[in-house]
Structure 1
């Protein structure tokens, strides 16, 4: 599932290429036809991301909410676009003044829906602070973490605690701070949380800027390659049984709250 930096990159792209002009919105697949008709021909005023949620704000006050889920993906193209290929849930076409024509197709999202302002507010109120949003308050997350007996590895994946963190950033930031994913939130110190939050902000900003996750420190960026082509080199994520880049201990794997979890038992002791 795409993590928060991917949605922020999409929001920046759509803001740059589509905001400020009339956007033609359609649903070649048909599943979003009624929603597309409500915003078609309106001006896209703003595109933003909040955690793993993308929000397109229109001059009518309506907002299109997209959650990519496991399989959702946007593909981009200059105009004119060809005929839709595959199951395109939403197509957006626009050419704001002074900009070349731009189009994007959305396929396979978990959610693609039109929301009213109170519904958007209810959605964002449910989310924890997003490390990529200006003014995000890490204390909001800390207040939930230090009262909880749930493992920190589960709390970091809870979008109501921290918005935008997924499996890769979860595994890697815990490794970088030598914290066991099984440590209860109540056993985490405020200084440890502050250091992790600052690291998440820095790592995810790099992800937005370069379009990929960079989680291994330069001095450790050697040895085994990435776990798959075009994937980030990681300390522990997707490296089950391979030697830890720091100590050589085989990387461990289990399932925690229905999500794959990777860690080094030596560098991240219980």
Structure 2
């Protein structure tokens, strides 16, 4: 009878399972910032449904600031991870794709019924495509280093803050009525097309890595001044910044094209050297 139920003997050759190691706190901090930004994006959706447009805009603006901070914090703490990149992309779609579109629809696009909803959907789908293309380009090893200072198309946070320009104007000097709905719809589609376009836009990732000592104190003063103006004149500052950003796009394109031409000339000059062409190098006179 003892042979029917032999005692269990562990296999000595079987590798032992590794226990789960504790996760360093520095890996969690960037993800917590991303989740906080996601909470603000969801709050913006709620504020838009309740027609509290000022709070909705404020939530999206703060989410954009946090979106710019989480990546820098992750690189500073050496806490970058694939999970964090995917979480950031999903958060960006909600914060800068869904929330602005619903805000604009509840604001004025609903006056156009189905056409207004189509304009909102075009913008949201453009944001999704923009983020998907961005994720793919991160894995491109052949991309030159200098091109990492530029986005291909308008970035999702910039698109969200830019597409809300009609809301800013509504709170400043131009109460937007139902007659302006077609113009707002066209503007929404236009920003969506900029997001999925091939237009290079300056990313600003390399800016601010090194600050001259003589500029530290003036920088502090400028940051405090900007924060004070943003709090006191929120929609004025956002409107001015949006217009300035749109006007700066042609200059960014020109700078990118000039850099491409410089790189092409450098490659052509390198290809013409004897080592590259395979021609024997001329002998120096003795």
Q: Same fold (TM over 0.5)?
A: no
Kindly indicate which of the two structures has a greater share of residues assigned to helix.
Answer: 2
TM-score, normalising length from structure 2? Answer: 0.26
So what's the TM-score if we normalise by structure 1?
0.27
| Larger fraction in strand | 1
